[in-house]
Structure 1
Amino acid sequence: MSPMGIRLSPLGIGVFCLLGLGVLYHVYSGFLTWRFSFLLGSRTGDTVDLRELLAVSVKAAELGGVEVKAVRESNKLNENSKGKTREGADEKLTRGDLLSNKKMANLITSSFPGVQVNTEEHLSEEDKEAVYWNRGIPNEIKEIVKNPKFVSSESITIWIDPLDATHEYTENLVNYVTTMVCVAVNGKPIIGVIHKPFTGYTAWAMVDGGSNAKTRASYNDKTPTIIVSRSHSGAVKDVTRRSFGNQTKILSAGGSGYKVLSLLDVTGNDQETADVYIHDTYIKKWDICAGNAILSALGGHMTNLKGEDIIYTGSDGNEGGLLASIGMDHDALVEKLSSKITSK
């Protein structure tokens, strides 16, 4: 008998060792689970921090922009058509679209695998790769959006436009080109990022959080400058003149992201300025969601032509046209247009 009066048999020693190993396994596996969750983003149960989603959205837009710029500068666009628009124009597709889409979509889906992601270009199984975000939140975001805000991952839909204004991109009109990410919560656009790859300018905003973008000091509500699409204008120019007068100044531009930025104070970034953005035909939600979020965060509005909010769930298209403004009486604009424009 041992000095303590207890003798362990070989079987007892084996059981004791196994129990010890089991405890160590659970402790270590728990640590690995925590570390994996840490790498994928802060969560409480199935929630996601919107501030982290904003940071990764900015990173994705900028990484996509690197691809877009590199392809354009290489002049190896591999341009082709992926079909026709409703107006009968070729819908362009380039290597820049595909490489940007691959980088942006993989970064977001790898970093936040529990959220739904809708992206303009198809991401095949061969295109998928693990591109993890280091969870770093830029100081600019932390200074403006000071506190985390958690929402259910099931309530989130992310819309990615890897290359807005592809038609202009093929013509080397790169000032119109943007990459965009939008985070919608229960169909409402909450986070928007618009990045201009060829100037390096990035506008971002979170509704009820803040923005690095600014509004202009004043807007012309008497004789507003209207910005419309240069390639999908429909009948909007005629309707605009009938609504606001024959002397109304109308700018034609490429890319919805560019047009939204024209309503803001982004002088010095190869950017025209306008007071109102109008579109009277069908438009995809990844084209407009980011701009909608930014305008909403700054007190502006983006609606269909009837003044109704655009819901960013379900189908990827918006049938009701588009009216965007900031610093203006949006309801008055809707009333002015409503009797004179027909949505297609």
Structure 2
Amino acid sequence: MCDVGDSVNLLRVLINCAEKAANIARLCRSNEDLLNLLVQEKTGAEANARFEHDFKTLADVLIQETIKHDVATWFPAMREAILGEESPNFTNKLDENVTIAVGATEKDTTACLESVLTGHEQAAAALAAEVHRVVNTETELELGDLPELPEQLDYNNLGVWIDPIDATAEYISGDTIFTNFPGITSTGLDCVTVLIGVYERDTGVPVIGIVAQPFGKKLEEHVYKTSLYWGVCLSTLQAHNCNFEARDKHRKLCIFSSSEQSDILQNLIELGYEIAFSAGAGHKALKVLTHEVDVYVLSKASTFKWDTCAPQAILRALGGNIYDYKASVKQQQAIPLNYTATAEDAEEGDWKRNTGGLIAVRNVDALEALLNKLGDQ
């Protein structure tokens, strides 16, 4: 399943899951015919109203179910609190509804995938082999020193949010458009991330985060290596592998979605920020934690808990955070995003959504000026 070392460490398990996810994403993306075969358009409640077309791929679903399977195997106490973006249901070309599930053996998983990939047994077998392959992250990734987690950690109180492939449209198209800022792309495979966030169920506070870029490092044409970032922010332990210097202390940069309101852009420009546009909520948050941008602002309710839990946990380990845009601006104080669901949220059916937008910062000292300016709207 995965190589987690001599003792079972949740952080190591999550990192192994993220690398396994990246391998699956690369395998599906390496063959254009296979990718086209795997894509299915989301409809109804699954679709994101912000986009004219919203897609899920078998890669999304298989990654999500693989992570759920592996985490639940090592930590049964967390089994019922592992949530993700995607429905595990797929419709094959025979118009049959198939539920994707990781089997007890590679043979079982192959059989399940064959029911979706009708007539493509080799592809099903290759994907199943990746799901059940033992991965060794120690030699493959630049992880830094991984800490041992506190022995008293209460796994019954931990939940997980998974976004198996954030920026699915970019994953499907693969088209890259560069911005005017080195290292920041507007669209493309660089924007694709795997997001795994752990939060405390009683407080709703994110405490462990993994953000992985399956296509983060291009080794040669069509050959990529994962860039992976992690952070832990518990009451007794703060650790991360994100020791980056700021891009330029004399220039301030804010990253946005291309659909952001023009008056908000103007407010940030008046505060001295330069503006960059990019795809993928996870990717934009990643640029904050790598110190390539100072702020990520989103005024709309177009992200979900699976988009923000992982990067927020890492930012907390760095001394930053992700805040609720509307609540923070209205109250003129920092209101972090939270992952508990109130009874009112559950009744409205929107408890998975970040309904107030967000402001992500690595340096919280920047927040006061932002809130003052945005509050003048």
Instruction: Give the TM-score range, shorter chain.
Output: 0.7 to 0.9
Q: Is residue 62–residue 100 contact of structure 2 (8 Å, CA) maintained in 1? A: no
Q: Mapping of 1:177-196 within 5 angstroms? A: 177-185=192-200, 186=202, 187-196=204-213
- Distance 1:265-1:338 versus aligned 2 partners, 3 A rule: same
Q: Deviations over 1:19-71 (max 9, x none)?
A: xxxxxxxxxxxxxxxxxxxx9999xxxxxx9x811111111111111111111
Q: Which residue of 1 aligns with 2:231?
A: 205
Query: How far apart in 1 are the matches of 2:309 and 2:191?
Result: 17
Q: Which residue of 2 aligns with 1:58?
A: 15
Report the secondary structure of 2:297's partner residue. Answer: strand
Q: Deviations over 1:83-124 (max 9, x none)?
A: 342335222111221222222221112221211101111246
Report the secondary structure of 2:339's partner residue. Answer: coil
Query: How far apart in 2 are the matches of 1:94 and 1:137?
Result: 25
Query: How far apart in 2 are the matches of 1:183 and 1:331?
Result: 28
Is structure 2 residue 364 aligned with structure 1 residue 331?
no
- Distance 1:240-1:223 versus aligned 2 partners, 3 A rule: farther
Q: Which residue of 1 aligns with 2:29?
A: 72
Is structure 2 residue 86 aligned with structure 1 residue 121?
yes
Query: How far apart in 2 are the matches of 1:137 and 1:155?
Result: 27
Q: Which residue of 1 aligns with 2:74?
A: 111
Q: Is residue 167–residue 192 contact of structure 2 (8 Å, CA) maintained in 1? A: yes
Give the TM-score taking structure 2 as reference length: 0.67
Q: Which residue of 2 aligns with 1:240?
A: 265
Query: How far apart in 2 are the matches of 1:297 and 1:133?
Result: 31
Q: Which residue of 2 aligns with 1:46?
A: none
Q: Which moved more, 1:278-287 or 1:93-102?
A: 93-102
Q: Mapping of 1:299-314 within 5 angstroms? A: 299-305=319-325, 306=328, 307-314=334-341
Query: How far apart in 1 are the matches of 2:71 and 2:281?
Result: 22
Q: What amino acid is the match of 2:166?
A: D
Q: Which residue of 2 aligns with 1:229?
A: 257
- Distance 1:110-1:40 versus aligned 2 partners, 3 A rule: farther
Q: Is residue 106–residue 130 contact of structure 1 (8 Å, CA) maintained in 2? A: no
Q: Mapping of 1:133-144 within 5 angstroms? A: 143-144=145-146
Q: Deviations over 1:230-284 (max 9, x none)?
A: 4xx342x431213432974221111122112212448xxxxxx321101111111
Query: How far apart in 1 are the matches of 2:22 and 2:227?
Result: 11
Q: Mapping of 1:139-150 within 5 angstroms? A: 143-146=145-148, 148-150=150-152
Structure 1 unaligned segments of length 5 or more: list them.
1-38, 43-48, 267-272
Counterpart of 1:259 (choices 275, 284, 307) is: 284
Query: How far apart in 2 are the matches of 1:248 and 1:298?
Result: 22
What fraction of aligned residue pairs are identical, expressed as a percent? Answer: 27
Q: What amino acid is the match of 2:314?
A: I
Aligned-pair distance for 1:181?
A: 0.6
Aligned-pair distance for 1:218?
A: 6.2
Q: Which residue of 2 aligns with 1:153?
A: 155
Q: Is residue 241–residue 248 contact of structure 1 (8 Å, CA) maintained in 2? A: no
The alignment covers a number of residue pairs equal to 285
Aligned-pair distance for 1:130?
A: 4.0
The higher radius of gyration belongs to 1
Counterpart of 1:95 (choices 42, 45, 58) is: 58
- Distance 1:134-1:165 versus aligned 2 partners, 3 A rule: closer
- Distance 1:338-1:89 versus aligned 2 partners, 3 A rule: farther
Report the secondary structure of 2:242's partner residue. Answer: coil
Q: Which residue of 2 aligns with 1:270?
A: none
Query: How far apart in 1 are the matches of 2:199 and 2:156?
Result: 11
Aligned-pair distance for 1:293?
A: 0.5
Query: How far apart in 1 are the matches of 2:173 and 2:166?
Result: 13
Counterpart of 1:317 (choices 345, 353, 357) is: 353
Q: What amino acid is the match of 2:368?
A: D
Query: How far apart in 1 are the matches of 2:319 and 2:40?
Result: 39
Q: What amino acid is the match of 2:356?
A: G
Query: How far apart in 1 are the matches of 2:51 and 2:31?
Result: 29
Report the secondary structure of 2:76's partner residue. Answer: coil
Q: What amino acid is the match of 1:203?
A: Y
Q: Is residue 40–residue 112 contact of structure 1 (8 Å, CA) maintained in 2? A: no
Report the secondary structure of 2:288's partner residue. Answer: coil
